[in-house]
Amino acid sequence: MKRLFSLVYLVIGLVATASGQSGQTGAGKPKLVVGIIVDQMRWDYLHYYDYTFGNDGFRRLLSEGYSCDNTQITYVPTVTAVGHSCVYTGSVPAITGIAGNDFYKDGKRTYCTDDASVQTVGSHTKAGLMSPRNLRVTTMCDAVKIAQDFKAKTIGVSLKDRGAIMPAGHTANAAYWFDNEAGAFITSTYYMKELPGWAADFNKANRQTSDIRYTPKGNTLVADMAIAALNGEQLGRGATTDFLAVSFSSTDYIGHRYGTRSPQTEEAYRLLDREIAKLLGALDSAVGKGNYLLFLSADHAAAHNAALMQKNGVPAGEWDEPAALNDMNNYLKTLYNTSTPLVKDLIEYRVYLDHEAIKAAGKTVAEVEEALCSHIAADDRVAYAVPFDKVQGLSIPQAIRERIINGYNPKRSGDIQIILQPGYYGFDSGSFHEGTSHGVWCSYDTHIPLLFFGWHVSHGQTAKETHVTDIAATVCSMLHIQSPNGCVGTPIRLK
């Protein structure tokens, strides 16, 4: 009788287990992994713009997928190149080498994906002189390739070169980005010698004659190109798990120009919802429901327009970066009686000192740092100005200190980190009265959406703090493969 009861309990247990996993459809491994980054998407947009959404885009991801509602970025600067690289590597700038959209490398100012050793493929411009060689670690796409002995197909698609290249990583079959001058998607000889037929056909049918980056049409074009790659490369229809990395950039362009509460931004998200629905439909059709694992997140968020905040009594304002750089050099020239500028550059709140000029002036970097930090911090708009090599021992809040340390790459980040007061920004020219920006440690820049959907994902949500670095760790854990080689994240339990 006991054995009979044990058998009954075993059967009940198996049924219960199967029932509990009813939402986890799919085979032993997904046919395809899809990563979606929405450039400059605040977490609260999922709810603030919900009234504009249909049922098959963002709402479907929320109603069928798993939402991590408190996902935070744990570094500065919160900018596009860093965000895309950190989502896909599970790492931070201190390790990845991508210290910003621009940084100094071997003594020269360098754009994150610049590579003069390659050529453009798909146009006659220089927009294709790009590759992932400045990225020092592997990405999720690389991890998927390596785990399958490089037999899988991995592709990145974005309007921005850095939005396609950073996710796709070093071993990608291709990364495609938009050449605004040519009005078409291009790549570089890092990946191939000529565009595949499907990509050339897509460009021929969709060539643009105007700048579509600041319009919702930019997102439509990316969605269509991603679907063309899905079908043209037959992703998810072979014996391997493939990877499609998609980044929607027009939301960032529109946000910078018009702000977080503008009709243009509302329209952008209303129409992006349709593009997400279209992409999900294409995946369902091509790969099959439950056969692909998808995540959606952002590279950074954005602040509300400073002028709008001021109007409503919230402390906020502008910090003119060119003027600040000029002021730093004038101060040091007067202090040390020298005609040579001692500050070489100011990039995304990072100060690059000219070490050779400082030595020639008979000074040490340490004494210049101390004097300059005191001068910068005297500005009421500045909360802290700290030398990178001394930040660990300074009395600043742990959350800020951690973000500075994680964002500091000794060979590329310069000498001093400037932290402005909440609400203050080094705005792009002309954006103070209309648009917005990002790049700092505050929650409006660091709180981003994170949704998982599809293969082995049941419906649910968590308000526990998760981190941008956890995304790659989670995906790789689900696939039972090794995380990217610089990953510092922890897998999220999707329960």
CA angle 143, 90, 400 (to 5 degrees): 170
How far apart (Å, rounded) are the C-alpha atoms in residues 74 and 90?
Answer: 11
How far apart (Å, rounded) are the C-alpha atoms in residues 386 and 407?
Answer: 13
Question: Which tokens in the block code for residue 416?
Answer: 């001093």
CA 175 to chain centroid? 15
Residue 276 near residue 451, CB atoms below 8 Å: no
Q: What is the DSSP track for 129-142?
A: -B-STT--S--HHH
Q: Which residues are registered as beta bridge partners of 293?
A: 33, 454
Question: Which tokens in the block code for residue 367?
Answer: 């004494």
**490 among known catalytic residues:** no
How far apart (Å, rounded) are the C-alpha atoms in residues 58 and 294?
Answer: 12
Catalytic residue among 80, 89, 139, 241: 80
Q: Which residues are registered as beta bridge partners of 208?
A: none
Sign for the pseudo-dihedral over CA of 236, 221, 427, 113: positive
How far apart (Å, rounded) are the C-alpha atoms in residues 286 and 384?
Answer: 52
How far apart (Å, rounded) are the C-alpha atoms in residues 202 and 323?
Answer: 45
How far apart (Å, rounded) are the C-alpha atoms in residues 79 and 82?
Answer: 6
Question: Which tokens in the block code for residue 350?
Answer: 């990072």
Residue 350 near residue 414, CB atoms below 8 Å: yes
Amino acid at 172: A
Q: Tokens 């798993």 correspond to what residue?
A: 66
- Number of C-beta neighbours around residue 264 at 10 A: 16
My answer on whether omega of the bond before 30 falls inside 30° of 0, hence cis, is: no
Helices (runs of H) and strands (runs of E) counted in the chain: 18, 21
Active site residues: 80
